[in-house]
Chain A
Amino acid sequence: MSVAIKYRIGKSTAFKTLVIVLSLACVVPLLFILVYILQAGITKINWNFLTNLPKPVGESGGGIANALVGTMIIVGTASIIAIPFGILCGIYLSENKNSKLAYWSRLCIDILQGIPSIVIGIVAYFWLVKPLNSFSSLSGSMALAIMMLPIVVRSTEETLLLLPDSLREAAYALGMPFHRVILKVIVPCGISGIMSGVMLSVARITGETAPLLFTAFGNPYLTTDITKPMQSLPLLIFNYATSPYNDWHDLAWGASCILLIWVLLLNIFTKLITRKWKVQL
């Protein structure tokens, strides 16, 4: 073999190695975070941890029941607000690709996606918390809903754009009206993509802290009243991890671990759903 060829093969191998090494390097931070938080947090999690309220400083034990319930309520309310709007907007954008309104709403959605979460929190504070004169989980849900919206819209739009036009034509040629074409053909065929967008957006907002700081605010007690301040996992982690007490640090580690497992489960679940509900075109 000539030297020139050997040199070229060598270059190729070096490049391949580089690509593999760098890909592995991307996985390392995730593994590191996973191992670290699981190590620190998993031992703190037990039945009492999940079902009890936090104890006052000085008493050991206590749990994060209020934050778990609070997170579920805040994220659930945000989803109820954002998902219908997001899916409908995504349908509009995919069905009317070139209209003026589509252009402007696409632009707005893109900008919305880039707005820092703390800014959205401030806006929710001035729109809801100040006029109502009280921190409330509802205002936190509003802020999170605004954060969810762009993810749901874009994933819906992109999923539906991938469906072939022949599918719409088949439906229209059978004399179906627009709403039935959308609800009975387009959405069912794109359901796996729409659902994965929804689930990823839920996973994304569950961990958001900044928009909740001055909206949901936090609460050491268990409450289900969405007009009152409410505790949530990220708020609890933020408050307890920055406190000077070891017991509270433990709670924060445990809560981090729960949050991490939740996000992991959602991601795995999304993958499963996408595979199971995928419509073979």
Chain B
Amino acid sequence: MESTIVKSVNYNAYFGDNHVVKDVNIEIPRNTTIAVMGPSGCGKTTFLRGINRMHELIPGATAKGQILLNGEDVMEMHPIFVRLKIGMVFQRPNPFPNLSIYDNVIAGYKLNGIKLPKAERDNIVQHSLTRVALWNEVKDSLTKKGSFLSGGQQQRLCIARAVAMEPEVLLFDEPTSALDPISTSTVEELFHELKKNYTLIIVTHNMQQAARVSDRTAFFYMGELVEFDDTKTMFTNPKDIRTQNYITGRFS
């Protein structure tokens, strides 16, 4: 198996005339955790949303360049197909409020009209919820609505929803910024588990989090990818002066 799973080649993203992501070239190896950090408005979230083509859903948003998933350009694929292979978790937990916890986990199948036998559905639900360490908490209330859970539980439910689709890559857009510290550490522990089966790309503006959870870190500044290196190297021996300044807290 090829070791690079996601690769971007001269990727540019725009909102109207606003050039938000500039010529990003990055190669992301399989089964690693990548942290994408940078100050607000540096284009890190836009880049992340470009990978599964969520970027283009915003009116006026356009993109140029290539994003390769296993060597195939996602810009040439149908977005629906791309999003089945690349799961996403958002900043705020967004379980479907009209569905039960059970149905939320298999929402990707149920709402896409994919019919599965009951046994298999049960299996997927239990498996996915176990993976996100939520099974023991909710196994007796699977029929309750997803919005009945706490914020941290809802976020783990959203991760389970993405995991249930067995994607190759999981994108996280500041997944803990709306959570309390305890829920945050639970989610961070999950990353270590999930890494075994998936490639994780996590956008965060929390440097400590990047240092704690990731194998490699990408630093974005003003729409450019400034530096991409092993997390340890990045935090101990950054090459670029801008990275240095950011890590030492001279700007944020």
| Chain A interfacial positions (CB closer than 8 Å to B) | 98, 164, 166-177, 180, 184-185, 188-189, 279-281
Contact = CB atoms under 8 A, between A and B. Distances in A.
A174 B59 CA distance: 20
A180 B112 contact: yes
Given A185-B111, A280-B145, A170 B80 contact: no
Contacts of A174: 83-84, 87, 107-108, 111-112, 161-162, 165
Interface in B100-119: 107-108, 111-113
Contact of B111 (A171, A189, A281): A171
A281 B84 contact: no
Interface in B57-113: 57, 59, 80-84, 87-88, 90, 92, 94-98, 107-108, 111-113
Given A180-B111, A180-B113, A280-B145, A173 B98 contact: no
B77 to A, nearest CB: 11
Given A185-B111, A280-B145, A172 B96 contact: no
A279 B107 CA distance: 17
Interface of B: 52, 54, 57, 59, 80-84, 87-88, 90, 92, 94-98, 107-108, 111-113, 145, 147, 158, 161-162, 165
Nearest to B95: A170
Contact of B57 (A167, A172, A188, A280): A172
B202 to A, nearest CB: 15
A186 to B, nearest CB: 10
Contacts of A167: 94, 96-97
Most buried by A among B95, B111, B158: B111
Nearest to B82: A175
B167 to A, nearest CB: 9
The 7 closest A-B pairs by CB, nearest first: A175-B84, A175-B83, A173-B88, A166-B94, A174-B108, A170-B94, A184-B111
